[in-house]
Amino acid sequence: MFGSYADTLADAAFWTWFAARHEPSRMLRAAAFAAWAAPAAAVAVLSVARGQMADIPRPALVRPAAPLAVLLVVGACGRRRA
């Protein structure tokens, strides 16, 4: 169970950092914050308020943040080649 939560937090930390450090678009930086950092913070606050870990919603078929991760990586690779 801990690994599942830790993986989610690691994704949130990495992708939020990556967007903040490498993405020039304010809109994509804000989308990264909304996709990863805000939900992680909300779950943390809810967990502390309840005194137990809140269940993290995990869509079975589509991970909503996955397309954003692809956009960030493709954009970074394109800027690197230019």
pLDDT tens, residue by residue, 69-79: 899 999 999 88
Structural tokens at position 77: 């690779």
Helix, strand or coil, per DSSP, at residue 22: helix
State the Cα–Cα distance between residues 36 and 10, nearest whole angstrom.
Answer: 10
Structural tokens at position 21: 């450090």
Chain-centre distance for alpha carbon 40 = 8
Tell me which residue of 11, 9, 19, 1 sits closest to 73, measured CA to CA. 19
Domain-by-domain residue ranges, the chain?
Answer: 2-81
Query: Considering only 34-38, 59-63, 64-68, which range has the smallest mean pLDDT?
Result: 59-63
What is the pTM (predicted TM-score) of this model? 0.74
